[in-house]
Amino acid sequence: MPRIPDHIAIVMDGNGRWAEKRKRPRNLGHQAGLKALKRTAEHCARSGVKILTVFAFSSENWQRPRQEVSRLMELFLKALDREVKNLQQNGIRLTFIGDRSQFPAEIRQRMIAAESLTRSNGEMTLNVAANYGGRWDIMQAAKNLAREVGEGHLAAEDIDRDTFASHLSTADIPDPDLLIRTGGEMRISNFLLWQCAYSELYFSPVLWPDFGPDELDRAIKAYQERERRFGKTGEQVRDKKRA
């Protein structure tokens, strides 16, 4: 039976271009993007995906025009109010990864409340990366490890790959099996740099607001047709499957 990726990560790109093509304000593209996230998350849950991680707002997005950032924050608040109940009804757990300190206090409080409300849900986990950057994630892990070594709680020689990973913002989350980027760009833009070391990559030409179940299924099909070797030879992988 074809395997469904346990963990899918998505760079949701193309909201602004989608709006510009229609000669509409960029914030309407972001609103359409939220609808795309809703239908994609629901399809992931129906398909058996256990974890969906989406890049909602990068640490670099603060550099965008002030009005656009303000509209994004307003949309974030509305989404937290409107969509969290829907996630709860569908058994989806919501978590946030990233540096929350730059968000307004009201948004931080809503994030905590949403996580608390959905904490016990087990149908699927939706991780929203907000004010997140892969380099930030690695740096904060390194700083925390250095602090533990300095305080005598950890020996430097005991730091291995698992120890480092346990200090990332995704400490309790398995690495993505499949990373999807929409919008036709072919880069990962500082998203989950450590975690995606062995993820399969799929670049979709579809702008994010137009993304949905059909394109997600195409990405999953492409994933299913690949052989994941993790440094081994193809023969080794096939021998293990036959064993």
> What is the set of active-site residues?
13, 61
Q: Which of 36, 53, 39 is nearest to 199 (CA)?
A: 53
Residue with tokens 């995906």: 49
| Residue 179: partners with Cβ closer than 8 Å, 6 or more residues away | 8, 9, 10, 11, 188, 191, 192, 196, 199, 200, 201, 202
DSSP-assigned beta bridge partners for residue 57: 130
Q: Which of 48, 120, 130, 54 is nearest to 87 (CA)?
A: 120
Backbone angles phi, psi at 151, to 5 degrees: -85, 0
Q: How far is CA 160 from the centre of its chain?
A: 25
CB 7 within 8 A of CB 13: no
